[in-house]
Amino acid sequence: MQSIDSSIGMPASGRRLSGGFTLVELMVTVAVAAILLAIATPSFTSIINSNRLASAANELVATLQSARMEAVRSNRRVNVCRGCDGNAGSLVAFVDANANKAADAGEVIRAGFPNPSVEFSGDLDVVFGSDGFGRDGDAPNGALLATSYRFCIPTTSPAQNVRVVSIGAGSRISTDPENGGGACQ
């Protein structure tokens, strides 16, 4: 049995007790971590882009649903448009009390701001009546709205780089992913 000099923590024979990692062990660990990070990075990019698309589409769905609920609740017309509050890119639901087709102070119910890296296409001008049905803003007493809006990121990561938000028969809202081939039309 070895005796240990308790004042310096070394065996009496002069050998030091091992308590850490060698430089070689640390370098191997760093190399393995770098390889794993290089493999995972493209996957993370796809997840981030997919989440940006889903978030933008969900923001529009939430704005449309809030407008529809408020129209039924308050028995008033509620408009949904893009940028009509003076903020470019915003999605706005508002009660147009003075019928000027602009979101004035005190009229805004909900305003959302999708990620600016996500492209939006479609003429967003929806009016929900007290019956809860959506109609085109240019013909608020006309036929029920049946249209779609597209959110897109020009990338092939993920392959389904488009989210389509559709309004069918005036009030049914759905979201579907599409493969845009890496481009936005």
The model's confidence at residue 35, banded by pLDDT at 50, 70 and 90, is very high
Question: What whole-number distance in Å separates Cα of residue 116 and Cα of residue 118?
Answer: 5
In this predicted model, what pLDDT tens digit does every residue of 4-23 receive, in sequence order? 555 555 555 656 666 788 99
Give me the mean pLDDT over the 136-158 stretch: 87
DSSP annotation of 99: S
Confidence of residue 42 (pLDDT cuts 50, 70, 90): confident
pLDDT digits over 111-134, tens only?
999 988 999 998 888 999 999 999
pTM above 0.85, yes or no: no
Cis before residue 158, ω within 30 degrees of 0? yes
Cα separation, 134 vs 145, whole angstroms: 6
Reported confidence tier of residue 157, pLDDT bands at 50, 70, 90? confident
> Locate tokens 């602009």: which residue?
102
Task: Round to whole Å and give the CA distance between 76 and 61.
Answer: 20
Q: Does residue 33 register a pLDDT over 90?
A: yes
Reported confidence tier of residue 80, pLDDT bands at 50, 70, 90: very high
Alpha-carbon span 49 to 51, nearest angstrom: 5
Question: Helix or strand or coil: residue 81?
Answer: strand
- Please tell me the predicted confidence (pLDDT) of residue 70: 95
Query: Which residue reads 């698309």 in tokens?
Result: 53
